Amino acid sequence: MAEDVGPARRTTGARMGGRSERVVASVLAAVLSELARVGYDALRLEDVAIRAGVAKTTVYRRWPTKVTLVHAAIREAGRYDEPLPDTGSLRMDMLAMLERSMALVGTPEGRAVARMVTTDSSDPEVQALCHDLREETRRLRARVVVRAQERGEIPAGVDPTMVTDTVFVFAISRLLRFGERLDREACERLIDLVVTGAEHGGGQRALRRRRT
């Protein structure tokens, strides 16, 4: 039987405890399941409510549009609020992040989210949402490189985003396009290749040539 938790503030996934927390969790999980089943364009808030076992009004009161609802679900799935790994080693930090990302994309829900975020849409609202999520993800990943620079592990002039993009775009696109998931050893080799280049100032030489 569908339940309505009553009026609630609009949110992008806040946890409020008790029944409200359970309702939010069930709705966001239902969104991911529907994305995996039908994709963004065919997703309907009514179907999300049915799958979550809540009243339509519960969904509409918290997330008045499909874009805000999907945004909340993606942020929840992507664990944007979790602290970044901090092992003291750039290689180990990147390995932990990459394995977590690949585990997420390895699920039907994760693949649906990744395809939506990385595929252009004709809807301006969706384009803006996906652009913001991509950029936020890139900034979060790059922070582990910035920390490594602060520790003196790699030169300050290396572009942090270039380092993480080289690893993550290769691994995740390979998984999405070909269904080929790198095992731990392959992830370690990929990260070592990129980080070794960064340790030796990779990417700075061409930049210096352009400036002279």
Per-residue pLDDT at 160: 96
Highest mean pLDDT (candidates 7-16, 114-123, 124-133): 124-133
Helix residue ranges, H only, 43-123: 45-52, 56-62, 66-78, 90-105, 108-118
Burial 11-31 (b: 16+ CB within 10 A, else e): eebeeeeeebeebbebbbbbb
Give 127-145 pLDDT, tens digit per residue. Answer: 899 999 999 999 999 999 9
Distance CA 137, CA 12 (A): 17
Residues 6+ apart with CB under 8 A from 107: none
Distance CA 65, CA 111 (A): 22
Query: Residue 5 has what pLDDT?
Result: 33
* pTM assigned to the model: 0.78
The share of the chain scoring above pLDDT 70, in percent, equals: 87
| pLDDT grade for 147, boundaries at 50, 70 and 90 | very high
DSSP 65: S
Place domain 18-76 in its CATH homologous superfamily.
Homeodomain-like (1.10.10.60)
pLDDT bucket at 2, cuts 50 / 70 / 90: very low
Does the pLDDT at position 23 exceed 60?
yes
Q: How confident is the model at residue 169 (pLDDT cuts 50, 70, 90)?
A: very high
CATH node for 81-211: 1.10.357.10
Asked whether residue 8 carries a pLDDT value surpassing 50, the answer given is: no
Query: Would you kindly state where each structural domain of the chain is located, as residue ranges?
Result: 18-76, 81-211
- Compute the distance between CA of residue 35 and CA of residue 47 in angstroms, rounded to an integer: 11
Report the phi/psi class of residue 83: left, alpha or beta, with left for phi > 0 and alpha for psi in -120 to 50: beta
Mean pLDDT of 56-71: 93
Confidence of residue 17 (pLDDT cuts 50, 70, 90): low
What pLDDT is stored for residue 202 in this prediction? 82
